[in-house]
Amino acid sequence: AQTVTQSQPEMSVQEAETVTLSCTYDTSESDYYLFWYKQPPSRQMILVIRQEAYKQQNATENRFSVNFQKAAKSFSLKISDSQLGDAAMYFCAYRSGNTGKLIFGQGTTLQVKP
């Protein structure tokens, strides 16, 4: 069975600085997708970024980018120029290529200090 591990329960960053959230996963599959979701205090789940395992190029969405290390099964999220609105819980998630089922990590709470 696939597992997703986020080893940092809490992180903090100064406004305008850069922070990296860690995620590792375990799988024997070759076809899969990885996601980062943001959950602010409103509880709404918001997709931040998506990565296909077959793509070597790291995904980027504005201030958000990932460092995808397939051999190491690592999928970290980098947030540049952190803003107060980035404060939230961030979840790493895994999806097998042939199902829609998402497997989530435990989450990392990000605090942004003004």
Partner 1 sequence: NAGVTQTPKFRILKIGQSMTLQCTQDMNHNYMYWYRQDPGMGLKLIYYSVGAGITDKGEVPNGYNVSRSTTEDFPLRLELAAPSQTSVYFCASSKGLAAEGTDTQYFGPGTRLTVL
> In the complex with partner 1, which residue's Cβ is closer, 4 or 13?
4
Binding flag, residue 44, partner 1 (CB under 8 A):
yes
Binding flag, residue 64, partner 1 (CB under 8 A):
no
Per DSSP bridges, beta strands 88-96 and 108-113 are: antiparallel
CA 87 – CA 84 distance, rounded (Å): 6
Q: Which residue has the tokens 């990296």?
A: 20
Output the smallest distance, CB 17 to partner 1, in A. Answer: 26
CA 59 – CA 104 distance, rounded (Å): 19
Q: Which stretch binds partner 1 (CB under 8 A): 15-23, 37-45, 62-70, 72-80?
A: 37-45
Buried b (16+ CB within 10 A) or exposed e, 89-106: bbbbbbbeeeeeeebebe
Residues 94-113 that bind partner 1 (CB under 8 A): 95, 97-107
Q: What residues make contact with partner 1 under the rule CB under 8 A?
A: 4, 33, 42-45, 47, 50, 52, 91, 93, 95, 97-107
